[in-house]
């Protein structure tokens, strides 16, 4: 038996399970993994602790990390690697992926996502409902797109960035891309027209730095 774990049984994970379960063969099973939980069910699927997931009898086992926070995904990536557990990449049948697209392991591609051409995406990427990535973009590891993100062409997004629902990233230029820095947060509905420094949060239209008093 092949065993597929969805790490995280909250909202994100419950949105991923139907994608995974729809693609299962007869000798394959999908379960939720939630630390500290054992022998319970979520939406009719088994929900296991990490320990119990590792103890399940399976010829092969792999995991996807269905948790929106990139830093948490990074920690779980190391945890899985230490246990010798690999990763798989759920992808909805309603996804459109065009030419010359390279996507790292563990990506979760939700329904109605479009990824066009000449794009490189790192490990454990989340592309939520109705988001898109246009041509000539480069996206790092553990990047999260909330639903409805519009990432236009010639954009560079560094590791651990979070792009909020409905945000729009203005198209850059060849040799002069729009850059979203490492760990930056783009607020819901923000319209980003300029580079965003690492670790900063921007909000609004046009997007501006969020300052805390």
Strands 2-7 and 28-33: parallel
Rounded CA-CA distance 157/137 in Å is: 8
Tokens of 13: 């994970």
Cα angle 8, 45, 73; round to 5: 15
135 assigned to active site:
yes
DSSP code at position 173: B
Rounded CA-CA distance 109/160 in Å is: 17
Catalytic-role residue among 124, 126, 135, 160: 135
Residues 6+ apart with CB under 8 A from 212: none
Contact between residue 107 and residue 128 where contact means Cβ atoms under 8 Å apart? no
Instruction: Catalogue the active-site residues.
Output: 135
């Amino acid at each position: 038996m092949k065993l597929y774990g969805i790490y995280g049984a909250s909202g994100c994970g419950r949105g991923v399970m139907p994608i995974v379960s729809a693609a299962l063969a007869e000798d394959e099973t999908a379960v939720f993994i939630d630390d500290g939980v054992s022998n319970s069910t979520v939406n009719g699927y088994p929900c296991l602790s990490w320990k119990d997931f590792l103890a399940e009898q399976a010829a092969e086992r792999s995991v996807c990390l269905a948790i929106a926070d990139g830093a948490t995904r990074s920690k779980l990536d190391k945890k899985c690697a230490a246990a010798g557990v690999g990763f798989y990449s759920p992808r909805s049948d309603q996804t459109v992926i065009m030419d010359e697209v390279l996507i790292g392991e563990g990506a979760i591609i939700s329904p109605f996502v479009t990824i066009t051409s000449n794009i490189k995406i790192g490990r454990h990427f989340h592309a939520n409902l109705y988001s898109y990535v246009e041509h000539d973009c480069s996206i790092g590891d553990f990047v999260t797109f909330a639903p409805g993100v519009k990432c236009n062409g010639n954009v560079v997004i560094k590791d651990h960035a979070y792009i909020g629902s409905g945000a729009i990233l203005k198209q850059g230029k060849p040799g002069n891309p729009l850059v979203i820095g490492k760990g930056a947060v783009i607020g819901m509905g923000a319209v980003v027209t300029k580079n965003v420094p690492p670790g900063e949060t921007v909000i609004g239209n046009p997007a501006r730095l969020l300052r805390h008093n």
